[in-house]
Amino acid sequence: MLEVLPIQEKAQQESICLRCHVPYNPDWMAYAAYIDGALAGVCQFSMNAGGGHIYSIRGVDGYESTQTLFVMGRAALNFMDLCGIPRAYCEDKELPDDLARMIGFSQDAQGARFVELTHFFDHPCQHSAHK
């Protein structure tokens, strides 16, 4: 079973980031994904007056399930939306374009990946617009 859970302890976040080969930043929040209790990946993000920012969505070494990475990205976006953040940006330059689009990101004229979160999770979910 896939579980995506917030990481509560910074030491645990640092350790998971190391296992997923992404830079750790103690100022960022993070979710960890687990498959049947085994670590599957990490998603690090932050929120500020400029919007939400996803810095890394990565699987643990040898595990790169698109479905798992998608769910972690969507979980972070949903949290941002619940916090009233109207727009989020994908700062993860290594995230493949097709996966970024699947999560919901579009590109502006300058190439920045963004998603408008207002009504994004309303029923029906706006995901179908980004296939």
Is the pLDDT at 101 greater than 70, yes or no?
A: yes
Token pair listed for 125: 């979910």
Q: Tell me the pLDDT tens digit for each residue of 11-29.
A: 999 999 999 999 999 999 9
Token pair listed for 23: 């830079």
In angstroms, the CA 23 to CA 124 distance is: 35
Q: Is the dihedral of CA 74, 27, 13, 41 positive or negative?
A: positive
What pLDDT shows up at residue 61? 84
Token pair listed for 54: 């996803």
What pLDDT shows up at residue 65? 86
CA 38 to chain centre: 19
CB contact at 8 A, 96 and 113:
no
- What percent of the chain is predicted at pLDDT more than 90? 85
Q: How confident is the model over 55-67, as a mean pLDDT?
A: 89
What pLDDT shows up at residue 128? 54
Q: Are strands 87-90 and 51-59 parallel, antiparallel or unpaired?
A: parallel
Q: What is the pTM of this model?
A: 0.91
